[in-house]
Amino acid sequence: MLRLFITAAALNVLLVAPLWWRFNDIGARLIAWEPWLAVPLLLLLPLGVWRRWLISLWLLWLALVSVANIGDGATYEAFGRSFNLYLDLPLMRSVFHLLEGNVGQLVAFGLMGVAIALLVGVLVVVGRLLLPSRPYSLREPRGKVALGCAGLSVLLMTLELNGQRLVPFARVPMINTTMFQWEQVTQTHAARQDFAQTLEQSPLPVQALPGLARRSVLLTFVESYGVAAIENPRYRDVLRPTLTDMQTRLAARGIHVVSGLLASPIRGGQSWLAHATALSGREVENQMWYRLLLESNHGTLVDDFNATGHRTFSVMPAITRAWPEGQAYGFDEIYAADDLPYAGPPLHWVTMPDQYTLDYTARHLLDDGPLFAQIALISSHAPWTPILPVLDDWSLIDDGTIFAPWENAGDSPDELWQDLERIRDHYAWSVDYAVKVAGRFAERVADEQMLLIIMGDHQAAPLITGENASAAVPVHVISADPALLAPFTAHGFVPGTQPPVGVQEDIAGMQQLRRWLHADFGAQTRESSP
């Protein structure tokens, strides 16, 4: 009997422990009924090859459910949503690269290896426990106990599945997770077909933008800059003075700014989906939609500005590997990490500070002709350490070697991430740095011939913002020509650097940016992109 209870208890913990992480409530989920049914029945089976097959299949099912439940906890912590087996398996590579950038390749391999070894080890040990040399017999007390345990579990599972929970801290996680993932697979597959059909049958036409024909447009994304940074009491005391100072400094140079909010399609990560949404005018909320968009003939702002006669380029300091997506967008030039001659140190995941990225852009990439650029700032990406100062004298930046003293400054990620309160402080400081640098860049480059759009890509993870946080991100539109800002005011933006906060139910999606530029500055020229 001891074998039965040890095996069932071990599998019980394997099933409910990820749910403790996901729902942060241990007391509500202590019992998983499935092991208390399956283990007794498997121990009662007579010897034979088919018995081994049944045990193997059941353990495989249990392993898949465990991975899905662990994935659910991880995706909720990172992105504020549930794990979707149909969509999220391709993200495993990105998760590994993020882990590698924060803690190093050796530690990343070690952590993932330990996790896999633990899961496989538990399943191997359980598999052996389920194969005793002599199966349980109903003639023996242990066989009768096993049958009673299975019978009671069947009864309570049946009641649970019919909405009658007699044991308040018991669940059926294997069944619930399997049903939930199956529903997601079928629903997502149908949504995939609908999205693909929409891209094919109703593409947003490429339009030249004559209202911006002689103007340069810089679309600059600030990593993890969500509305929580200026609305949450914990963070706003850090960010709002910076925004006030930014407004004062811009006004002193005759530069105007209006600010508003747009809703990002994602939270916590996958910034490229926000970029794709803003560029395409379509809500791109997952990796599948992203691939479908880039494989289609659907136009983007890159095509619109190409049609207007602009030179187009993208500055992506976080891109350290091949980026075929950049080619798919049709940028004339792409400046990834290896294309930027940064000679300073990487700062954990962050390949180079935002001030270097913007300084290099100002000195080498902004010429006299009209241009459109997408710039992705990354200093406010996790792990949010070290925190750099903003250098007042940009001429000191040069090739970035001036940042060498900060290579090992401050807390290391593994030290910082042991204290939730300190993580949140560092988040606020890093976003403050990024916004401050972006504001100083605007002082430096904005004039009557430029429209500069600075916007967050997404809210930070629930760890930072709390559950059910708004998807809104701040957007600051800057130019020395107030006429370029008037259309944004008509869309609800307000003068200054403080966007309206509070009621946020009717915030437009980030996809509206391209549509607004079409309506306010454009003229339709053709039906599809190249």
| Long-range CB contacts (within 8 A, 24+) of 32-35 | 32/170, 32/171, 32/172, 32/173, 32/174, 33/153, 33/156, 33/157, 33/160, 33/170, 33/171, 33/172, 34/62, 34/153, 34/157, 34/172, 34/173, 34/174, 34/175, 35/7, 35/8, 35/9, 35/11
- What is the distance between the alpha carbons of residues 437 and 443, in angstroms, rounded to a whole number? 10
Phi, psi of 374 (to 5 degrees): -105, 125
Report pLDDT digits (tens) over 379-404: 999 888 899 999 999 999 999 999 99
What is the residue-wise DSSP string for 21-32?
A: HHHS-STT--EE
Sorted by sequence, the CB contacts under 8 Å of residue 167 that are 6+ apart come out as: 31, 156
Listing DSSP states for 207-264 in one string gives EE-GGGTT-EEEEEEETT--THHHHSHHHHHHHHHHHHHHHHHHHHTT-EEEEEEEE-
User: What is the model's pLDDT at position 530?
Assistant: 35
Q: Is 374 helix (H, G, I), strand (E, B) or coil?
A: strand
Residue 299 and residue 204 in contact, taking contact as beta carbons nearer than 8 Å? yes
The amino acid present at 129, given as its one-letter code, is L
* Of the candidates 383, 508, 419, the residue with the CA atom closest to the CA atom of residue 78: 383
User: How far apart, in whole angstroms, are the C-alpha atoms of residue 400 and residue 214?
Assistant: 32
pLDDT of residue 199: 65
Which one, of 156, 4, 191, lies nearest residue 86 by Cα? 191
Specify the amino acid at residue 184.
Q
Q: What is the pLDDT of residues 250-306, one digit of tens each?
A: 999 999 999 999 999 988 878 889 999 999 888 888 777 787 777 777 789 999 999
Q: Which stretches of the chain score pLDDT less than 70?
A: 1, 75-81, 86-113, 115, 133, 137, 192, 197-203, 502-505, 524-530
Q: Give 78's DSSP letter.
A: H
The CB density around residue 31, as the number of other CB atoms within 10 Å, is 20
CA 99 to each of CA 75, 82, 346, 400, 407: distance values in angstroms, whole numbers, following the listed order: 14, 20, 15, 25, 18
Partners of 333 in the beta sheet? 313
Strand, helix or coil for residue 404? helix
Q: Given this model, what pLDDT does residue 528 score?
A: 38
The domains of the chain, with CATH numbers, are 2-189 (no CATH), 205-524 (3.40.720.10)
| Residue 316, helix vs strand vs coil | strand
The whole-number pLDDT of residue 512 equals 92
